[in-house]
């Protein structure tokens, strides 16, 4: 019984293990070993078209959760994204830079898109309904929580501050905690190009 179970699982386990060996130890961020499959989610863009976070062949993805009322960590991270994009030169067009708001109530699809594009016109800013937002966060193993602010700020949102790097098969391969540095991020993206 146990033998049969292992035999059945082996084909499923081997590829991710081998893939992990391929790149293990060489990411400057925290390598995810084995890489974790992240299901794709669909977001409505301004104008009604849709954007899927699902994998695109040949295009790795950097993804960050934040919100536009965030004065510090979020703009710092998206500014780092812009530096990464600049450092990648011609290869940059192959990378998907994605910002997902954890505050869809205040950040409409228009607000989220405009915010992301303020850092670079190629960046994608996404705002989904609460189920989509929660589902995507859950897939990455993170969460966000609404916290009281002042009359001036309105509520604040505690949120994951890492940057997630996914390969072109939709697998999470590395995590960069806030403050890891844009150059480390650029180096890890280059590994996937």
Partner 1 sequence: MTWCVPSRPHPASRRPARGAGPAAAPVAAVALVALLGACGTDAGKNDTPAEEPPLRLAAAWARQADSGKISAAYLTLENRADAPVAIRQFGSEAVQAVELHENMTEDGMTHMHARAILEVPAGGRVTMAPGGLHLMLIGTQRTLAPGDTVRLTLEMEDGRSQQVAVPVQRP
Choosing from 15, 39, 135, 149, the residue that interacts with partner 1 (CB under 8 A) is 149
Q: Which is nearer to partner 1, 22 or 110 (CB)?
A: 110
The Cα 103–Cα 109 span in angstroms is: 11
CB atoms within 10 A of CB 8: 9
What are the residues whose beta carbons fall under 8 Å from the beta carbon of 9, sequence distance 6 or more? Answer: none
Q: Which is nearer to partner 1, 171 or 176 (CB)?
A: 176
- Assess contact for 16 and 34: CB atoms under 8 A: yes
Choosing from 178, 187, 190, 191, the residue that interacts with partner 1 (CB under 8 A) is 178
Determine, following the binding rule CB under 8 A, whether residue 79 of this chain makes contact with partner 1.
yes
Determine, following the binding rule CB under 8 A, whether residue 159 of this chain makes contact with partner 1.
yes
Choosing from 20, 118, 169, 190, the residue that interacts with partner 1 (CB under 8 A) is 118
Determine, following the binding rule CB under 8 A, whether residue 17 of this chain makes contact with partner 1.
no
Smallest separation, CB 4 to partner 1 (Å): 39
C-beta contacts of 176-184 below 8 A and 24+ residues apart: 176/29, 176/30, 177/29, 177/30, 178/73, 178/76, 178/77, 180/28, 180/29, 181/80, 182/80, 182/81, 182/83, 182/84, 182/87, 183/87, 184/28, 184/29
- Beta bridge pairs of residue 36: 172
Smallest separation, CB 71 to partner 1 (Å): 4
User: Rg of the Cα trace of the chain?
Assistant: 18
How many residues contact partner 1, by CB under 8 A?
Answer: 31
* Per-residue interface string for the shown chain with partner 1, residues 32-71, x marking contact by CB under 8 A: ------------------------------------xxxx
* Chain residues in the site for partner 1 (CB under 8 A): 68-73, 75-76, 79, 118, 142-145, 147, 149-150, 152-153, 156, 158-162, 175, 177-181
């Amino acid at each position: 019984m146990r033998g049969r179970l292992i035999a059945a699982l082996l084909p499923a386990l081997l590829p991710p293990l081998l893939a992990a060996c391929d790149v293990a130890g060489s990411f400057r961020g925290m390598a995810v070993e084995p890489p974790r499959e992240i299901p794709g989610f669909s977001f409505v863009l301004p104008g009604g078209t849709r954007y899927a976070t699902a994998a695109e062949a040949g295009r790795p993805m950097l993804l960050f959760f934040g919100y536009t009322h965030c004065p510090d960590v979020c703009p710092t991270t998206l500014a780092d994204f812009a530096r990464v994009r600049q450092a990648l030169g011609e290869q940059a067009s192959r990378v998907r830079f994605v910002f997902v708001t954890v505050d869809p109530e205040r950040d409409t699809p228009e607000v989220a898109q405009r915010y992301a594009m303020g850092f670079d016109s190629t960046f994608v800013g996404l705002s989904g309904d609460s189920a989509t937002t929660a589902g995507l966060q859950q897939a990455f193993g993170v969460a966000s929580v609404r916290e009281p602010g002042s009359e001036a700020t309105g509520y604040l949102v505690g949120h994951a501050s890492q940057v997630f790097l996914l390969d072109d098969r939709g697998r999470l391969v590395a995590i960069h905690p806030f403050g890891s540095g844009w150059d480390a991020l650029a180096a890890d993206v280059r590994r996937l190009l």
